[in-house]
Amino acid sequence: MTEANLDYTPLAEALSAASTIGVVGHVRPDGDALGSMIGLVLSARAAGKDAVASFGEPFVVGDEFGFLDLEALVPPREFPKGLDLAIVCDTSARDRVGSVVGRVESAGTVGVIDHHRTNGDFGDVTIIDSDAAATTQLVYRLLRLLDWPVTPQVATALYTGLVTDTGRFQYSSTTPEVHTIAGELIEAGAVPATVGQSLFEEVPFGYYAVVANVLGRAVLEEEIGLVWSVLYKSDVEAADIPPTATDGLIDLVRMAAEAGVACLLKETAEGVLKGSLRSRGIVDVNAIAGALGGGGHHNAAGFTIEGSPEQAIARVRELLA
Ligand code: 5GP
Ligand code: MN
């Protein structure tokens, strides 16, 4: 169920009133989650607040995000208890907060800023706009309302969320406002070449073998418009690359023009698979992921499932039919 809350005033007032602020994103944060939490924390600090960001275990940030000001982050065990205000960014459901959830919920007020079709099951003060391209777009609007500083590092963090969640400004969510905000962030000091080179133009050489394995074992089921593949733990171990380096693989798997839906199953532990689903627009993959205990957006969603890849794909096939 989509819960919309487009009134920015309550959360802006909570931020103004708070002295101590913590910001978290979802587990295994992507560019939008990292950009939202780092951008909000750095701006809060520049506005004179005591602010810190974190996310649930595993506390790992990929090398490709090295251009962000990672000093804003502390490990989840160091995320303070009893803050005035804790804000959860870019997180579609409470269970995606992970191991830091107890510390978040010990805050006086819990805020949520999100653009997922979230079930709205958590947070005292929320901004939820599923039409937004990225959570950083919502954070930017909030900072403008507060008139808090957008330093070059804040701008870089917020720009990162826009670039990653719009697939480099080409998904249907890419509105004139997205480009306007991107332009304002560049004026404020974000450097597109720095962000783009690090995120999209550099991989460890070992990644080539992983790509070859995953694309080599891809299966096209043209009659149902599905393309799918599997990434095994052994692929990642043999290539000696960090697991975070595999986040872009789904973007290669989903390129088959014959398929409207793509699925990549990543083995995270023996018998445990993390599924990524992508749609070209007709099929609502959020509904499929939701039926499997996960969630996300209409065109991009995920879930975790136990069993073999064949068993997992059989479930996806059933739900597609
Ligand atoms: P990805 O496939 O890149 O991991 O995730 C795609 C989208 O689905 C993201 O918006 C992500 O937040 C969401 N998502 C991924 N996995 C899960 C999950 O297990 N549960 C929920 N609720 N959302 C997920
Ligand atoms: Mn996002």
Question: SS in 3 state form for 247-276?
Answer: CCHHHHHCCCCCCCEEEEEEEEECCEEEEE
How far does the centroid of ligand 2 lie from the alpha carbon of residue 219, in Å?
28
Query: What is the best residue among 254, 273, 274, 303 to mutate for testing ligand 1's pocket, by most ligand atoms within 8 Å of CB?
Result: 303
pLDDT of 264 reads: 99
Q: Nearest ligand, CA of residue 130? A: 2
Ligand 1 atom with the shortest distance to the CA of 93? 22
Q: Is 296 in the pocket of ligand 1 (CB under 6 A)?
A: yes
Strand arrangement of the beta sheet that strand 226-231 belongs to? 219-221, 226-231, 261-269, 272-279, 300-306, 295-296
Which residues of the chain register pLDDT less than 50?
1-2
Q: Is 295 in the pocket of ligand 1 (CB under 6 A)?
A: yes
pLDDT of 13 reads: 98
pLDDT tens, residue by residue, 14-64: 999 999 999 999 999 999 999 999 999 999 999 999 999 999 999 999 999
pLDDT of 120 reads: 77
Q: Is 300 in the pocket of ligand 1 (CB under 6 A)?
A: yes
Query: What is the best residue among 244, 276, 304, 306 to mutate for testing ligand 1's pocket, by most ligand atoms within 8 Å of CB?
Result: 276
pLDDT of 232 reads: 98
pLDDT of 117 reads: 80
How far does the centroid of ligand 2 lie from the alpha carbon of residue 223, in Å?
31
Q: Nearest ligand, CA of residue 302? A: 1
Distance of CA 297 to the CA centre of its chain: 11
Q: Is 302 in the pocket of ligand 1 (CB under 6 A)?
A: yes
Cis-peptide into 58, omega within 30 deg: yes
Q: Is 103 in the pocket of ligand 1 (CB under 6 A)?
A: no
pLDDT of 3 reads: 57
Q: Is 245 in the pocket of ligand 1 (CB under 6 A)?
A: no
Query: What is the best residue among 24, 26, 36 to mutate for testing ligand 1's pocket, by most ligand atoms within 8 Å of CB?
Result: 26
